[in-house]
Amino acid sequence: MRVAPTTTTMWRSPAAPACLLVAAVLLSAVAAAAGAEYVKYKDPKKPIGERVDDLLSRMTLAEKIGQMSQIERANATSAVIEKYFVGSVLSGGGSVPSEKATAKEWQQMVAKMQKAALKTRLGIPIIYGIDAVHGHNNVHNATIFPHNVGLGATRDPKLVKRIGQSTAHEARATGIPYTFAPCVAVCRDPRWGRCYESYSEDTKLVQLMTSAMVPGLQGDAPARHPKGTPFVAGEMNVAGCAKHFVGDGGTRNGINENNTVLNFHDLMRIHMPPYDDAVIKGIASVMISYSSWNGVKMHENRFLITDILKNKLKFRGFVITDWQAVDRITTPPHKHYYHSIQETIHAGIDMVMIPYDYPEFVADLTSQVSNGSIKMDRINDAVSRILRVKFAMGLFENPLPDPRLVGELGDKEHRQIAREAVRKSLVLLKNGKSGEKPVLPLSKKAGKILVAGSHAHNLGFQCGGWTVSWQGQGGNNVTAGTTILEAINAAVDKSTVIDYTEHPDKSSIAENAKEYDYAVLVVGEEPYAETEGDNLNLTIPSPGPEVIKDVCGLVKCVVVLVSGRPLVVEPYIGAMDAFVAAWLPGTEGHGVADVLFGDHGFTGKLPRTWFKSVDQLPMNFGDKHYNPLFPFGFGLTTKPSHSQS
């Protein structure tokens, strides 16, 4: 990867070296000679704590509330940013400057917003945030890595850290310094529509990956860095956001935004540890979950946000809401909005994601501070945390995008890392019928093969949700990448004939079965995100089952399942000659072919329990009644094939 100039590490001990003190005196003298006032918060040589205190002391209530406000890109005109002193802007899923916008166009948009912020009285830069949950996924031509469930299957924290670094570089290529990642949920029920955003059902595995991804995105904090103090290494790194606090992966029946019913001990044992790891690694922010814990909405849970996260875990970054979450602590949403603001701010929320309702939010919060129902100390705490992150990021010194970084988007080395991640994430669950030879690796020199299924040649399906758009989409024009069919075509011998069809005709297959050396059937789920993905039956969508039934038995078949979670496969597993869980591999389909054809061996292990029936759910490793189809951690291994016959 190309290395760009980086900022000096922004955290400093209170006792600054003598040379820095001399430099500060000289800076003050130069400013005085030029007739300009020396402003402490603009001095990068001062400790962050002093800069925060100095800037906070100069701010009006309107400027403080502006820092607490995060609005949607589409509303962030220069006039709005200047009028409301907006502190943060975000892109919601699919919110882009223009269709298929280039890195340069993204940079131009961010720069325009930033220049508006810098024109305000105090010149506090905005922090622009975006969901970069499996690569810089909102942006056309970005490298799309496997979703977290696939990364959990790799068991490779060094790889995950490199993915974090690559994602940070691609975000910076578009001028964006803040990502709503990583998701550190512990998904305990695959019926949950966000389960693919979780590394595993196992807390320790989620901790392992969290501890790798955070420094991948933000950089490695120095030794003896104070616990909880946000750390961002430089201009090639981004501020991260651990989400969604806390217990979102444990809701009843896996229903998104539902109620997590657990005693405090189990909440702390299962769902809290990854947040502690993120805090230790210097995470800049934490996003709160829409879900509830024992009937109390997380966004109004002062005990967990303030007493546990901020006080017990010593988190000193800022706490941010999810999208319009203040509205959604009531049913229907936005009912008693004035009161909802009070509840969430009192709970410990620092930055509020108010994409559209920012005028009402600003007016209501201003009123409540003015009448004393929300204390100024709480406002000052919130703003101090936000400013601390901005100073730690070096935003005041380097607020504008760096045009030299545009080439980092979709960088060839990032795609190679993604390809490696794909092949390490694949889990081989069956390889040959009982008493028969293994099927994998496949021969590259076959005479004729069949490739079939809805997911064999569909890049959008391969990437899943949170890809260019919020819910994701099908098709091969979504972004740049390689489908599994294209990868197979590139892997096999030039003389091999490939028949491809999404849904083969059974009678035709029967007539020509002897012509095929083998069939690769690629089936699975269509893209989804959040509540749209909640699924109580978890069956393979049609025509997947029909393709398996029609082909397997007639032709030696390898079934590759593209999905965000385990699905019901027991009725079909006997007919398969080989079965591979590919999860949601992203743009680099070559990684699938690398392993199918033996250039690399299968090494992935299940990050989740593979159930027999949904009636068993929720079922997790360590439960008393544990009777899976494939247990947590299962995965057959193969060695690279050195001869292709």
| Active-site residue set | 322, 530
What's the rounded Cα separation, in Å, for the pair 488 and 492? 6
Q: Compute how many other C-beta atoms are within 10 angstroms of the C-beta atom of residue 634.
A: 15
Yes or no: say if 565 and 195 are a contact pair by the CB < 8 Å rule.
Answer: yes
The Cα 231–Cα 229 span in angstroms is 6
Q: What are phi and psi of 592, to 5 degrees?
A: -70, -50
d(CA 474, CA 477): 9
| Tokens, residue 433 | 């019928």
Cα 338 to Cα 351: distance, rounded to the nearest angstrom: 16
630 is written with which tokens? Answer: 């494939």
259: Cβ–Cβ under 8 A, 6 or more apart, which residues? 251, 252, 291, 292, 293, 294, 295
Would you give the DSSP letter of residue 332?
S
Dihedral of alpha carbons 376, 382, 384, 387, sign: negative
Locate 361 and state its tokens: 């939010």
Helices 203-218 and 273-280: angle between axes, nearest 10 degrees: 20
3-state secondary structure of 616: helix
Place of tokens 């905005």: 126
Using an 8 Å Cβ cutoff, are 638 and 428 in contact?
yes
Query: Hey, what are 582's tokens?
Result: 């590919």
What distance in Å separates the CA atoms of residue 395 and residue 194, rounded to the nearest whole number?
A: 32
Kindly report the backbone phi and psi dihedral angles of residue 514, in degrees, each rounded to the nearest multiple of 5, phi listed first: -70, -20
Cα–Cα distance between 598 and 68 in angstroms, integer? 53
Instruction: Supply φ then ψ for residue 471, to 5 degrees.
Output: -85, -10
Which residue's entry shows tokens 């490939």? 498
- Amino acid type, 300: E
Nearest Cα to 382, choosing from 56, 81, 47, 58? 56
